[in-house]
Amino acid sequence: MEVEKGKGTDVSDVQGEDDLDEEPGEEIESAPPLKVGEERELGSSGIKKKLLNNGIHWETPEFGDEVTVHFVGTLLNGIKFCSTRDNGEPMTFKLGEGKVAKGLDNGITTMKKGERVLFTLPPDFGYGAEGRDGVPPDSIVQFDVELLSWITVVDICKDGGIIKKIMEKGERNERPSDLDEVLVKYQVALANGTIVAKTPEEGYEFYVKDGHLFPALTKAIVTMKRGEKVKLIVQPKYAFGDKGKEATDGFPSIPPNSVLNVELELVSFKPVIDVTGDSKVFKKILKEGEGALVANEGAAVTISYIAWLEDGTVFERKGVDGGQPLEFITDEEQVIPGLDRAAATMKKGEQALLTVSPEYGFGSVVAERDLAVVPPSSNLVYEVEMLDFVKVTTVAL
């Protein structure tokens, strides 16, 4: 089936300069939802939308997204001039690139997944004074459209260098930051399908700030939600450039100036917080705590922990293997500053891994602890669980 490729359309095309008081999608959102069988004009464009079947969810596609639709185009007298249903093959195209009649792109941006509508397009937003095969000049046309699905497409760097297609949406709204530790799975292939890199089945873990494999991975990861699966099209400047990559780990080499196709999943990530703001105490959250409250300063906290040196020497245990947990009041200098400051940021039930520089540890002195001696200027590691905390109320006399 031949599909008319009209002029590229965006919202400003539909509006002209003053045609619409608001965008088509805004009209739908600000008015009561259409009922099946009801028809409404989108703004003041003359484009009419009649709801034939309800869709699901609330999301609608945007310009740049890749939609898959069935549609049938007819004149007002019922004569059909194009149809994807004749051969049972839906059409997939990117919204806003003029792959369909002018104005139809805008109508589709008001549709939900599974929704079926009848759009009536005036000549200016159909095929205009020129018409097309089967459509006389200056004709009003109608499109019976069913939105089967769509893929959100994101130009991550706004230069076409990394195009992200979201295949499965992630959970919640949190995205990893540069400090966080991420667990990802990926497969990288050349344009001809040759696989040139792939993670083990369990995935690969790394800190975002440290980077991995090539720049596009980290640039894409910080735009993703936990559990999100995407496909990336990566241009050479965000991959291996004009140098390429030698064969390694049983995978073939990557030729210079190769465009890469990447299947990427953000399995999970562990948030890392710069507790002191000077990169001297980092807290990596291993397990989220309960609710939204944190201990803050002046709370009576109960924690368990294991503490060790960089070489793995354990120098202290509290509240593990049947031992007594540690109880103290934050901001009272009862423990080292790094542990004190970190505990004040923790929720009940939270588990975290702390890395503490000497300035917030035992400083330049020797510290004799329960299980080992801590040498001067030692970096420390604590695996901590916040068992409980109680806000301490002070009464003014």
Q: What is the pLDDT of residues 275-300, one digit of tens each?
A: 999 999 999 999 999 999 999 988 99
Claim to verify: residue 265 and residue 312 sit in the same structural domain = no
Instruction: Confirm if 325 and 319 have CB atoms less than 8 A apart.
Output: yes
Collect all residues with Cβ–Cβ distance below 8 Å to 158 and sequence separation of at least 6.
Answer: none
For residue 394, what pLDDT is reported? 52
Distance CA 390, CA 327 (A): 11
Q: Decide which of 242, 270, 298 is a domain's last residue.
A: 270
**Domain assignment of residue 29, yes or no:** no
Q: Do residues 196 and 259 share a domain?
A: yes
Residues 169 and 142 in one domain: no
pLDDT of residue 43: 87
Summarised one tens digit per residue, pLDDT across range 241-282 is: 999 999 999 999 999 999 999 999 999 999 999 999 999 999
- At residue 393 the predicted structure's pLDDT band, cuts being 50, 70 and 90, is low
CA separation (Å) from 181 to 156, 214, 268, 307? 21, 17, 9, 21
Answer whether residue 57 shows pLDDT above 80: yes
Task: Let me know whether 242 and 302 are in one domain.
Answer: no
Asked if 144 and 232 sit in the same domain, the reply is no
Whether residue 64 sits in one domain with residue 117: yes
The answer to the question of residue 122 being in a domain is yes
Please determine, for residue 16, whether its predicted confidence score (pLDDT) is greater than 70: no
**Percentage with pLDDT > 70 across the chain:** 91
Q: Is residue 5 part of a domain?
A: no
pLDDT at residue 216 tops 70:
yes
pLDDT beyond 70 at 1: no
Q: Report the pLDDT value the prediction gives residue 32, as an integer from 0 to 100.
A: 84
Instruction: Please indicate, yes or no, whether residues 295 and 385 belong to a single structural domain of this protein.
Output: yes
CATH number at residue 185: 3.10.50.40
DSSP code of 28? H
Phi, psi of 236 (to 5 degrees): -55, -35
How many angstroms separate the CA atoms of 295 and 298, rounded? 8
Tell me the three state secondary structure of residue 222.
coil
Binned at pLDDT 50, 70 and 90, residue 2 comes out as very low
Do residues 335 and 384 touch, judged by C-beta distance below 8 A? no
* Residue 19 belongs to a domain: no
| Least confident among 6-20, 283-297, 311-325 | 6-20
31 inside domain: no
Other CB atoms within 10 Å distance of the CB of residue 193: 7
| CA-wise closest residue to 309 among 385, 386, 362 | 362
Question: Which of 42-46, 228-232, 338-342 is least confident?
Answer: 42-46
Residue 333 confidence (pLDDT): 95
Domain identity same for 242 and 279: no
Q: What is the DSSP string of 259-293?
A: -EEEEEEEEEEE-EEESSSSSSEEEEEEE--SSS-
Among 150, 184, 200, the domain boundary falls at 150
Mean pLDDT score of the chain: 91
- Is there a single domain that holds both residue 142 and residue 50? yes
Q: Which domain holds residue 72?
A: 38-150
Residues 114, 179, single domain; the answer is no
Domain boundary (125, 150, 175) is at 150
Task: State the pLDDT at residue 7.
Answer: 36
Answer whether residue 252 is part of any domain. Answer: yes
**Are 132 and 61 part of one and the same domain?**
yes
Supply 241's token pair.
């450039």
Q: Residue 280: what residue type?
A: K
Which percentage of the chain shows pLDDT scores above 90? 85
pTM of the model: 0.78
Q: Is residue 132 part of a domain?
A: yes
| pLDDT reading at 200 higher than 50 | yes
Is residue 58 pLDDT above 60, yes or no?
yes
What pLDDT, on a 0 to 100 scale, did the predictor assign at position 119?
98
The total number of structural domains that make up the chain? 3
Collapsed DSSP state (helix, strand, coil) of residue 238: helix
- Asked whether residue 11 is assigned to any structural domain, the reply reads no
pLDDT band with cut points at 50, 70 and 90 for residue 338: very high
Token pair listed for 91: 């059409």
pLDDT of residue 44: 87
Residue 94 has pLDDT above 90, yes or no: yes
Question: 381 and 277, same structural domain?
Answer: yes
CA 130 to chain CA centroid, Å, is 43
In the predicted structure, residue 21 carries a pLDDT above the cut 50: no
| Res 18 pLDDT > 80 | no
